[in-house]
Structure 1
Amino acid sequence: MASPPELKPKKPSRRFAGVTSDTLSRLRAQAALQVARRDTGKNQHEMLPPSPGRGFERLPKPDPGDLFFDMEGDPLYEMGLEYLFGLVHYDGGQEKFTAFWAHNREDEKKAFENTVDFMTARLVSHPGAHIYHYASYEESALKRLAMLHGTRETEVDNLLRRHKLVDLYKVVRESVRISEPRYSIKSLERFYLDEARSGTVTTAGDSIIIYERFRRLGAKELLDEIEAYNKLDCQSTAKCRDWLATLRPATMPWPTEITPEKADPVREQKRIEAEQRTAAHIEALTTGCAPEDRPWRTLLAYLLEFHRREAKPKFWAMFTRQEMTDEELINDAECIGVLTPDPARPPRPEKKSMIYSFTFPPQDFKMRVDDEVLRAGTLESAGEVFELDEDERRISLKLGPKWSRLADGASLIPKGPLGDLVLRAAVHRYAETVIAGDQNRYRALTDIMKKSAPRLVKQAQGTPIIAQGEELLDGSVAALKRLDQSYMLVQGPPGAGKTYTSSHAIVALLAEKKRVGVASNSHKAINNLLKDVEAVAKEKGIRFSGIKGSTKEEQYFQGTMIANAENKDAAVAQANYQLIAGTAWLFARPDLDQALDYLFIDEAGQVSLANVIAMGVAAKNVVLVGDQMQLSQPIQGAHPGGSGISGLDHLLAGLATVPPDRGIFLGTTFRMNPDICKFISDAVYDGRLVSDPSTKQQAIDIGTTTDDALAPTGLRFVPVDHTGFAQRCPPEAERLKKTYDTLLGETWIDRKGAKKAIGINDILVVTPYNMQVNHLRDVLPDGARVGTVDKFQGQEAAVVLISMTTSSGEDMPRNIEFLYSRNRLNVAISRARCLSVVFASPRLLEIPCNTIEQMQLVNTLCWAKSYSDASAASHDAN
């Protein structure tokens, strides 16, 4: 951003590319206030135009029982630790401060419970009171801790439903403009505190440093300093509320207290019964069992609550987005804000529905075709995304006859969580069997829960699944045929033939008249595997009858041996179908319980352990096919005791590759040239991955180019010096574009030796952030394949160009675990057949780390740089 003098509104008519007029007006007004303060030395503020339901209308009437709340957390503790919960309150005009401390996970649970109990009791004695905090941290932490520790969830929900938590930051941002560049509570204190803070701890960063010092030294006086700082934050929050109350228009009515709607008696009774049933199952699982069984039975107890915990954040996010401004919705990548009817595309019929088309302003978004969406303001259905053009910023929605068309200016938000009662019920069925002591039913699931070695007929547990020297495909199929009511893990690195192996194994089992299920977390993945199953069956002259369960026609499989039906259709479970395909919602049905001989779960690295159990009840043998070293499952909730991880992560417990006695490792890639594969193998797969000999022919013919980013094969690290960039980096985009343009004039050789001109379809451009995606789309040729790594899993190209974007650790918008993710870097680099090029600031190699795990992540990028340097030296020598 330019300095204040450059932003001073001397030329109001001036426009800037990519900046809307409303945003520019706000920036100019903000700059004017900052310049006025610089010139006069006086604090300046001005009121913003009122907006219904926002700003001062969020501010409740002051009450003697009001609480002012602030928390301190330690991000350096494993998974973070909320170590101080502070509350200021006033009794009889006397200020009181209450603090709850925690120094480990168990303390954290107790401190959280004490805090929520204190709040709840206060609201009982003062029904008109509220709990004030500044910014979203405190509310988010309460939600997360309730899920993580599985306690006080009803009480936290009650606080949220009754709007008892009041974020003063929202009130400030929507009602007042101040002469400070930041709107932190420390900046705001200039307007209501007589003097600046003093003391050892004056910022959140100071508190983290002092707390880490306490953890090393154990000196109590350090905690006293932090507690004094926390108390000041609570006092400041109280004075901020008082200051805002003086600015609030005197004629504005106070918001009315929200009384929760009375629950439907029948639904409430069902909820109570479900909670009692869960509590009884948890107690039965965790008490009175043998010591060696306690860990896995406790984990199963946690899994009983997985789906409920996972749904909560989605509901919370839905209601939060209902209250967002247009600007906030535009800035939320989960949404698409401010639609305008597209005059070039009038409404048109589509079967019994109507298609409505819109344009929208520049913004980052994750919505995709077939997503079901809601209208932000009303939470009514907006239909489903029918068409979506990211480059032209056009979207078409399909709405059924019961829904009216969207109003001009409407915004879209994601639909809430899918109904999951059938999944919860399936996990409970398995738990009931465990509680009853039935060791014969669901034996495969118990092997998974216990992390036992797979059990095969005529083979001792703990011996290699594939005998040395045995051909991999034949050995894999033979091993799967010998599964003895157990599970098998098939790990397939990039390009190693997971689908090929699965399809041949499934057809071999169908040939022996086994009933086989095919599942995954997406219909796209299921259909992709089914396509190969039919192709292999036709090639081998095998006929079978199959059926796929879906929820809408767009998910149907277009084949010859596999029919389609609705998920809820009873016909799906009929015994005459030898192959059944669908998602977890299908296989969790009671009428499919233990109906299958085998269940293949594709992309299992993205399937939660809870869903593995939920769908695994359908089969006697479970085959998990995937790779935990690629993209993991997206998880919303906070889950205790390892209950939030995938089935693969559970079984492998941190190992990069499956041991020979625990599963099948597909150790040959048919995609990557050996020069790329060597790095991926050593950095990610314990050195066990090799390239098929045919890939050695794959290379870029770079001719006489002088671009040092290019080489015929391998991995290149290109340093790009820049400063101050977080999620959008023009200098890196400019350097990447130079290489991109050079490549378009070259040729490449495929694995069969054919020479081909490099076009836009032969280059993938990958970056961690949607903002950089959009910028790269602007500077690269139309049609360039640009996206985040999530978009390209399963795809490939001759060349991959990777923009790391962020300048340094200080500029990092998220955490080390995201930017330096070994899984994401693995997926990005391994899309390439010939060459991968990483463009990055050299300062990313110098980032300070706080844990061994962070050091390992950063080391992978350093390793890429070292590998690149060695390869370049070798190339130059030749």
Structure 2
Amino acid sequence: HDQQAAALMAASLGYHRRERKPFWWAHFDRLAAPADEWADTGDTLIASSVTLDADWHKATPRQRKLRRRVRLVGDFDTGSTLRPKDKVFLLYESPGPEGLPSGGAGTRSWSSAEVVERTVDPHFHDVLVVEELLQGDEHSSLPMAVTPGSPIPSTSLEAAIESAASAMCDQLPTLPRTAAVDVLRRIPPRTRSGAGLPEVEDADFAAAITAAVLDLDESYLAVQGPPGTGKTYTGSRVVAALVREHGWRIGVVAQSHSVVENMLDGIVAAGVPGDRVVKAKTKTADPAWTAVPDARSVASYLNASEGGCVVGGTAWDFTNPQCIEPGSLDLLVVDEAGQFCLANTVAVARAAQNLLLLGDPQQLPQVSQGTHPEAVDESALGWLAEGHGALPAERGYFLSLTWRMHPDLCARVSDLSYDGRLLSKTEVTSARALDGVLPGVHTVRVDHRGNATCSEEESTEIVGQVEKLLGAAWTGDPDMPARPLDEADILVVAPYNAQVASIRTALSAAGLERVPVGTVDKFQGRQAAVVLVSMTASALEDVPRGMSFLLSRNRLNVALSRGQWCAIVVQSGVLTDYLPTTPDALAELGAFLRLTGGCDDPATSPRPEARR
């Protein structure tokens, strides 16, 4: 354990540098190589047409730089995540406009821009509108491609990791008794009483977790919350109890502002006054908690605050000494710790005496670009789970009851991702009912050939399934009367953006524009009565990015677990007709076949044609 922890700490030192390296390699490769030979095409769009929406101008008198709006049409590769407000580069063929940086003589040059709008045209081509900032003199040249913008600077995170590593070196061969080191050592949480973690009584996880946190001796506690188990509800009540009853000063950190702010909303709803909860860089309009303008305002608030309080932010806030003084918090809550890497966990842990890791490593993982000598790119919860679907009991708590999924659906998801330990809250979930449709996971097989990222056959089948479902009597809340199933009660998930666009077009042509359609990335956190999943690709040889992407347990888990009543998987009849060549690929295929085996017909009996 100790040698492993030291190796992880050493690897954390270069984590951010190694994460940046592939980006800049790919960037300079794109400046010199022909566009059809680019090695890395993630989030890149080679324009088939470019038009000028607005020439150089200043939108307001206070703006210093001229800017213009450019519209580019092309095709993103599968898995593109660009969205409005993302920073991008615009590439120009050589010779480019004067004043722009380039990769050297005869190479392309680039400028900086921000995404304004991303849409899909009637021919399923991606359309990107960007606002370009002027560098150098005004020019009329138009770019040939959009590529990812610079990585976010990580200076404060790297400094925090360096400080933690220095502290470890100073104490070698013994290791510091800190929360981050306990996580790296993967030992059970260290308690002041010397006892193990409290038992959960009467399914009151919040009470057990609160008692466990109060007993921590500068250590960590992990809590795994699968979909529908009330992770945010439970976590917010733990924080509320610690603040109101014990006067703790607590931080909440996550990968994104939206996740942090969602937890802060829950904390206020759990009874912490809004003036005791603070956050800068607010994205929520008119929040119930206190929004302040910047990091210095957070520091001023903490310095003036007496008693318990909560401060929210991202990793940059909790590694910024001008915002949060190291060691000044009693507890740091890492929300969505199933997507928060070990290196960044080391960085932010210095802000507090103890860590509470909330999340689910069986959901979508954090995206990593670099190659690392140790598993510092793995999530904190994934590291502690150590390959198990459910967190080992000696390291924390597994929230084992989902209030979302019917027992028949839950059983499939539990077998797929949670070692069979996830159970359904039957008195709630079994009281729901959808007339004429069986609960659970169903498979609909459609004949098609040669489809990779778009399948019109599956899009047509999705429309047919939606039309059959609409109007069925749905009892979602046992205390409310049954009502006709509506378009908003269905989610449609596809693995590729092109198939998302195809399904939307087909639904729109059928007058079903209100049915939500997207990739799993869009729907994490959402739920609906029925989830329809389009697998899209026809066969192994057609699958872009390989079967490991299409049959990923994490992605399938997120998709299926959106459903309250059932999930319907639409796939090619020959999609799984292949022989895996590795043990991991065999396990993936076996898990998918178990998942989609059984009932192929979701209907219990014929019903009259559904009403719209």
- Using the size of structure 2 for normalisation, the TM-score is 0.84
Residues 532 and 410 of structure 1: is their aligned pair in 2 closer, same or farther, counting only changes over 3 Å?
Answer: farther
Residues 370 and 350 of structure 1: is their aligned pair in 2 closer, same or farther, counting only changes over 3 Å?
Answer: farther
Counterpart CA distance in 1 for 2:297 and 2:254 is 19
Counterpart CA distance in 1 for 2:183 and 2:378 is 13
Residue 522 of structure 1 deviates from its aligned partner by 0.8
Identity %, equivalent residues: 33
Alignment of 1:356-371 (within 5 A): 357-361=69-73, 363-364=75-76, 365-371=80-86
Residues 348 and 391 of structure 1: is their aligned pair in 2 closer, same or farther, counting only changes over 3 Å?
Answer: farther
Conserved? CA contact 2:73–2:128, under 8 Å: no
Residues 759 and 876 of structure 1: is their aligned pair in 2 closer, same or farther, counting only changes over 3 Å?
Answer: closer
Q: Which moved further from structure 2: 599-608 or 354-363? A: 354-363
Higher helix share: 1
Q: Secondary structure at the match of 2:474?
A: strand
In structure 2, the gaps of 5 or more residues are 93-99, 101-108, 607-612
Counterpart CA distance in 1 for 2:527 and 2:397 is 24
Q: Which residue of 2 aligns with 1:849?
A: 580
Equivalent residue for 2:88, pick from 365, 368, 373:
373
Alpha-carbon displacement from aligned partner over 1:109-136 (angstroms, at most 9, x marks no partner) = xxxxxxxxxxxxxxxxxxxxxxxxxxxx
Q: Which residue of 2 aligns with 1:559?
A: 287
Residue 760 of structure 1 deviates from its aligned partner by 3.3
Conserved? CA contact 1:444–1:620, under 8 Å: yes
1:454 and 2:189 are equivalent in the alignment: yes
Conserved? CA contact 1:699–1:712, under 8 Å: no
Q: Secondary structure at the match of 2:270?
A: helix
Counterpart CA distance in 1 for 2:338 and 2:247 is 29
Q: Secondary structure at the match of 1:735?
A: helix
1:610 and 2:343 are equivalent in the alignment: yes
Residue 556 of structure 1 deviates from its aligned partner by 6.1
Residue 415 of structure 1 deviates from its aligned partner by 1.0
Q: Which residue of 1 aligns with 2:565?
A: 834
Conserved? CA contact 2:57–2:68, under 8 Å: yes
Q: Secondary structure at the match of 1:426?
A: helix
Q: Which residue of 2 aligns with 1:547?
A: 278
Alpha-carbon displacement from aligned partner over 1:790-834 (angstroms, at most 9, x marks no partner) = 221111222111111222222222223211111111111111112
Residue 468 of structure 1 deviates from its aligned partner by 5.1
1:308 aligned partner, one-letter code: R
Q: Which residue of 1 aligns with 2:303?
A: 575
Conserved? CA contact 2:473–2:483, under 8 Å: yes
Q: Which residue of 2 aligns with 1:529?
A: 263
Residue 342 of structure 1 deviates from its aligned partner by 6.7
- Radius of gyration: which is bigger? 1
Alpha-carbon displacement from aligned partner over 1:607-657 (angstroms, at most 9, x marks no partner) = 110000011111110111110111111011111232321111211110111
Q: Which residue of 2 aligns with 1:424?
A: 158
Conserved? CA contact 2:232–2:263, under 8 Å: yes
Equivalent residue for 2:207, pick from 474, 498, 523:
474
In structure 1, the gaps of 5 or more residues are 1-291, 703-710
Alignment of 1:196-595 (within 5 A): 293-323=2-32, 332=41, 334-338=43-47, 340-341=50-51, 349=59, 352=62, 357-361=69-73, 363-364=75-76, 365-377=80-92, 378=100, 381-390=111-120, 395-397=128-130, 408-409=142-143, 411-437=145-171, 443-460=178-195, 463-467=196-200, 469=202, 471-511=204-244, 512-537=246-271, 542=273, 544-550=275-281, 555=283, 558-567=286-295, 571=299, 574-577=302-305, 578-590=309-321, 592-595=325-328
Q: Secondary structure at the match of 1:302?
A: helix
Counterpart CA distance in 1 for 2:62 and 2:288 is 27
2:583 aligned partner, one-letter code: I
Residues 487 and 390 of structure 1: is their aligned pair in 2 closer, same or farther, counting only changes over 3 Å?
Answer: farther
Counterpart CA distance in 2 for 1:658 and 1:422 is 31
Residues 714 and 821 of structure 1: is their aligned pair in 2 closer, same or farther, counting only changes over 3 Å?
Answer: same
Residues 746 and 349 of structure 1: is their aligned pair in 2 closer, same or farther, counting only changes over 3 Å?
Answer: farther
Q: Secondary structure at the match of 1:425?
A: helix
Equivalent residue for 1:761, pick from 463, 479, 488:
488
Residue 363 of structure 1 deviates from its aligned partner by 2.4
Counterpart CA distance in 2 for 1:599 and 1:321 is 41
Q: Secondary structure at the match of 2:533?
A: strand
Residues 863 and 676 of structure 1: is their aligned pair in 2 closer, same or farther, counting only changes over 3 Å?
Answer: same
Alpha-carbon displacement from aligned partner over 1:31-63 (angstroms, at most 9, x marks no partner) = xxxxxxxxxxxxxxxxxxxxxxxxxxxxxxxxx
Counterpart CA distance in 2 for 1:436 and 1:332 is 44
Equivalent residue for 1:649, pick from 363, 382, 387:
382
Equivalent residue for 1:792, pick from 523, 543, 558:
523
Counterpart CA distance in 2 for 1:493 and 1:761 is 23
Alignment of 1:63-82 (within 5 A): none
Q: Secondary structure at the match of 2:463?
A: helix
Q: Which residue of 2 aligns with 1:776?
A: 503
Conserved? CA contact 1:499–1:532, under 8 Å: yes
Residues 346 and 298 of structure 1: is their aligned pair in 2 closer, same or farther, counting only changes over 3 Å?
Answer: closer
Q: Secondary structure at the match of 1:716?
A: strand
Conserved? CA contact 1:382–1:397, under 8 Å: no
1:312 aligned partner, one-letter code: K
Residues 794 and 839 of structure 1: is their aligned pair in 2 closer, same or farther, counting only changes over 3 Å?
Answer: same
Q: Which residue of 1 aligns with 2:547?
A: 816
1:675 and 2:408 are equivalent in the alignment: yes
Q: Secondary structure at the match of 2:271?
A: helix
Residues 637 and 840 of structure 1: is their aligned pair in 2 closer, same or farther, counting only changes over 3 Å?
Answer: same
Q: Secondary structure at the match of 2:158?
A: helix
Residue 424 of structure 1 deviates from its aligned partner by 1.4
Conserved? CA contact 2:91–2:143, under 8 Å: no
Counterpart CA distance in 2 for 1:343 and 1:368 is 19
Residues 564 and 399 of structure 1: is their aligned pair in 2 closer, same or farther, counting only changes over 3 Å?
Answer: farther
Counterpart CA distance in 1 for 2:160 and 2:474 is 51
Counterpart CA distance in 1 for 2:498 and 2:466 is 19
Counterpart CA distance in 1 for 2:61 and 2:116 is 13
Alpha-carbon displacement from aligned partner over 1:345-398 (angstroms, at most 9, x marks no partner) = 998836845885554425234211221222223565544334444568665545
Residues 344 and 303 of structure 1: is their aligned pair in 2 closer, same or farther, counting only changes over 3 Å?
Answer: closer
Q: Which has the higher contact order (CA 8 A, sep 6+)?
A: 2
Conserved? CA contact 2:264–2:289, under 8 Å: no
Q: Which residue of 2 aligns with 1:634?
A: 367
Q: Secondary structure at the match of 2:364?
A: coil
Q: Which residue of 2 aligns with 1:102?
A: none
Counterpart CA distance in 1 for 2:576 and 2:499 is 20
Q: Secondary structure at the match of 1:718?
A: strand
Counterpart CA distance in 1 for 2:44 and 2:88 is 9
Alpha-carbon displacement from aligned partner over 1:499-522 (angstroms, at most 9, x marks no partner) = 111111111122122111110011
Conserved? CA contact 1:597–1:619, under 8 Å: yes
Alpha-carbon displacement from aligned partner over 1:314-358 (angstroms, at most 9, x marks no partner) = 2222333445667789x9450344374576999883684588555
Equivalent residue for 1:749, pick from 467, 475, 478:
475
- Using the size of structure 1 for normalisation, the TM-score is 0.60
1:658 and 2:409 are equivalent in the alignment: no
1:297 aligned partner, one-letter code: A
Residue 691 of structure 1 deviates from its aligned partner by 2.0
Q: Which moved further from structure 2: 715-724 or 430-439? A: 430-439
Conserved? CA contact 1:547–1:564, under 8 Å: yes
Counterpart CA distance in 2 for 1:557 and 1:324 is 45
Residue 457 of structure 1 deviates from its aligned partner by 3.4
Residues 699 and 598 of structure 1: is their aligned pair in 2 closer, same or farther, counting only changes over 3 Å?
Answer: same
2:474 aligned partner, one-letter code: W
Residues 398 and 570 of structure 1: is their aligned pair in 2 closer, same or farther, counting only changes over 3 Å?
Answer: farther
Conserved? CA contact 2:432–2:565, under 8 Å: yes
